[in-house]
């Protein structure tokens, strides 16, 4: 058998082994498991839930304007006095008069606001709008975490497949180099052929080192986001349903994207803040009840009980202009929030359009890369056959095999890109949530904590989760 034919047969067998190894599926943990783990343990998401629970307390504090206040006051007083009285009845004499007094006083004062210029109502409305804005921000954080999980998951799958391809390529070229050296010793090939095989093997080892470093980085990112190391992962499941047109995607994003929802609720809160500030110019009414006991002990002992009820009306006339300044300030803030809504909507339209076009590009890239793999496979087989009749060199065969390898690596990357961009589009339209993905876990509902605390009168216990 001639040198070229033996080389071609060896490379063909090695390439077949490379292809079979690269396409063997490995079963393990699922993307759903990773999403559930991150949903229940990711510190970024848990911290934002705590932030939202703190925001819920704004509603309780705003409602405090409707509730009474009760204060207990007490005092204890000791008084000791001494007097000297001079008397002139014949001979001058002096008389001392000492006095010692103990006094106790206690009172209970209850105040119930009746009307504060509408400030109670509008501050409560503003606080509730801020709570709703916070919930939307929490949803956005959830989406960002999930998108990071999907990206890290697909990065690990891509990088592991790339490392496998590179390792097999190194094995193929190592055997090819050994075969080339053997043939060089018996005079079948030249030193140039051996050098070409050595150079190609060195390049393959460098590419493998780079792929392994990229895999290590992806594994570290996965563990950081998900909270557990990545085992060998299942192939990703089918992507949830996506909008069929760009117009449909943009409409869904403007209606449901959490950043848009948050911006709108923040503007609503600013609108109520203006009314709240204007309430400071209106009269206020409150009722105050006081129950007081005084006890005084000296030569005589006396006790005094007193109960009073007072209705107090106050009307601000001029407060150094601070009230008017506060109204102007809140109006500027409201205008700012309105403009920020428009800014957010534009940003969401841009990100949705980008995600849509990136998805189309990734799908087109997959089609092109599959065609490239098919064409390189045909070309590689043709080069093998041509090498058998001596019209192709060993380098031609190695180049054809390298091009086939590169196209397979590119196809793996394109498949990863399509999957990630699909979830980017889901995030843009506000569907990348535990509820939207129907994850098999208990769904955290921030409304539960809000309902617990909005009218809570006493208690300082706070859940850690």
Q: What is the pLDDT of residues 172-182, one digit of tens each?
A: 788 878 877 88
Average pLDDT over residues 11-28: 41
Q: Out of 84-88, 142-146, 231-235, which region has the weakest mean confidence (pLDDT)? A: 84-88
| DSSP, residue by residue, 328-391 | HHHHHHHHHHHHHHHHHHHHHHHHHHHHHHHHHHHHHHHHHHHHHHHHHHHHHHHHHHHHHTTS
Task: Report the share of the chain in percent with pLDDT over 90.
Answer: 58
pLDDT attached to residue 11: 41
Residue 76 domain flag: no
85 confidence band (pLDDT: 50, 70, 90):
low
What's the whole-number average pLDDT of the chain? 86
28 confidence band (pLDDT: 50, 70, 90):
very low
Residue 311 domain flag: no
Spatial contact of 415 and 22, defined as CB atoms under 8 Å apart: no
Average pLDDT over residues 378-400: 79
Average pLDDT over residues 303-310: 89
Residue 236 domain flag: yes
> Residue 12: is its pLDDT beyond 50?
no
10 Å Cβ neighbour count for 271?
20
Residue 458 domain flag: no
- Secondary structure of residue 96 in the 3-state scheme: strand
383 confidence band (pLDDT: 50, 70, 90):
confident
What total of structural domains would you count in the chain?
1
10 Å Cβ neighbour count for 344?
19
CA distances from 396 to 299, 386, 388 (A): 123, 10, 12
Mutual orientation of helices 3-22 and 119-185 as an angle, nearest 10°? 160
Place of tokens 């091009």: 403
Residue 297 domain flag: no
Average pLDDT over residues 404-423: 92
220-244 pLDDT per residue, tens: 999 999 999 988 888 888 888 899 9
For residues 423 and 22, the model is more confident at 423
Residue 292 domain flag: no
Q: Token digits for 71?
A: 């204060």
pLDDT attached to residue 16: 40
Query: SS3 for 154-201, per residue?
Result: HHHHHHHHHHHHHHHHHHHHHHHHHHHHHHHHCCCCCHHHHHHHHHHH
Whole-angstrom distance, CA of residue 145 vs CA of residue 417: 18
Average pLDDT over residues 347-371: 94
User: CA angle, corner 373, sides to 367 and 375, nearest 5?
Assistant: 100
> Residue 277: is its pLDDT beyond 90?
yes
pLDDT attached to residue 10: 38
43-81 pLDDT per residue, tens: 999 999 999 999 999 999 999 888 999 999 999 888 877
CA distances from 283 to 59, 273, 325 (A): 24, 18, 18
Q: Out of 44-53, 146-155, 245-254, 288-297, which region has the weakest mean confidence (pLDDT)? A: 288-297
Residue 102 domain flag: no
CA distances from 218 to 81, 264, 327 (A): 84, 37, 52
Q: Give the up-direction half-sphere exposure of residue 437: CA atoms within 13 A in the CB hemisphere.
A: 27
The secondary structure element, H or E, covering residue 245 is none
The CATH number that applies at residue 185 is 1.20.1600.10
Residue 81 domain flag: no
> Residue 94: is its pLDDT beyond 50?
yes
**What radius of gyration, in Å, describes the C-alpha atoms of the chain?**
40
pLDDT attached to residue 226: 92
Strand ranges of the sheet holding 91-115, from the earlier edge strand across to the other edge = 69-89, 91-115, 284-297, 301-314
Domain of 230? 3-67+118-282+322-453
Q: Token digits for 416?
A: 């990863």
């Amino acid at each position: 058998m001639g040198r070229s034919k033996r080389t071609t047969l060896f490379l063909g067998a090695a390439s077949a082994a490379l292809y079979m190894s690269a396409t063997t599926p490995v079963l393990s943990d699922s993307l759903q498991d990773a999403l559930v783990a991150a949903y229940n343990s990711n510190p970024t998401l848990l911290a934002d839930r705590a932030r939202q629970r703190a925001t819920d307390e704004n509603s309780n504090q705003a409602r405090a304007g409707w509730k009474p206040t009760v204060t207990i006051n007490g005092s204890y007083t000791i008084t000791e006095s001494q007097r000297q009285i001079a008397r002139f009845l014949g001979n001058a004499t002096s008389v001392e008069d000492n006095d010692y007094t103990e006094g106790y006083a206690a009172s209970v004062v209850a105040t119930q606001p009746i009307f504060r210029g509408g400030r109670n109502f509008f501050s409560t409305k503003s606080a509730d709008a801020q709570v709703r804005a916070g919930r939307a921000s929490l949803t956005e954080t959830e989406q960002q975490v999930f998108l990071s999980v999907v990206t890290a998951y697909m990065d690990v799958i891509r990088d592991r497949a790339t490392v496998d391809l590179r390792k097999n390529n190194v094995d193929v070229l190592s055997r090819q180099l050994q075969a080339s050296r053997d043939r060089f010793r018996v005079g079948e090939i030249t030193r140039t052929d051996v050098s070409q095989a050595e150079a190609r093997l060195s390049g393959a080892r460098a590419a493998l080192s780079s792929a392994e470093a990229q895999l290590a980085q992806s594994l570290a990112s996965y563990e950081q986001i998900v909270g557990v190391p990545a085992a060998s992962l299942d192939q990703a499941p089918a992507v949830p349903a996506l909008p069929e047109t760009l117009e449909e995607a943009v409409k869904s994003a403007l209606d449901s994207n959490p950043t848009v929802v948050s911006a709108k609720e923040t503007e609503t809160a600013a609108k109520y803040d203006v009314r709240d500030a204007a309430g400071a110019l209106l009269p206020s009414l409150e009722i105050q009840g006081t129950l007081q006991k005084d006890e005084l002990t000296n030569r005589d002992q006396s006790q005094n009980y007193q109960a009073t009820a007072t209705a107090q009306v106050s009307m601000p006339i001029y407060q150094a202009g601070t009230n008017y300044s506060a109204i102007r300030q809140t109006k500027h803030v409201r205008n700012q929030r309105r403009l920020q809504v428009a800014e957010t909507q534009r940003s969401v339209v841009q990100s949705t359009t980008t995600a849509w076009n990136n998805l189309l590009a990734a799908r087109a890239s997959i089609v092109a890369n599959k065609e490239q793999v098919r064409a390189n496979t045909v070309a590689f087989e043709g080069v093998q056959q041509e090498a058998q009749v001596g019209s192709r060199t060993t380098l031609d065969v190695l180049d054809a095999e390298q091009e086939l390898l590169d196209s397979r690596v590119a196809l793996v990357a394109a498949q990863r890109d399509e999957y990630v961009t699909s979830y980017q589009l889901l995030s843009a339209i506000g569907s990348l949530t535990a509820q939207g993905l129907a994850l098999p876990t208990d769904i955290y509902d921030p409304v539960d904590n809000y309902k617990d605390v909005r009218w809570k009168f006493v208690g300082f216990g706070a859940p850690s989760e």
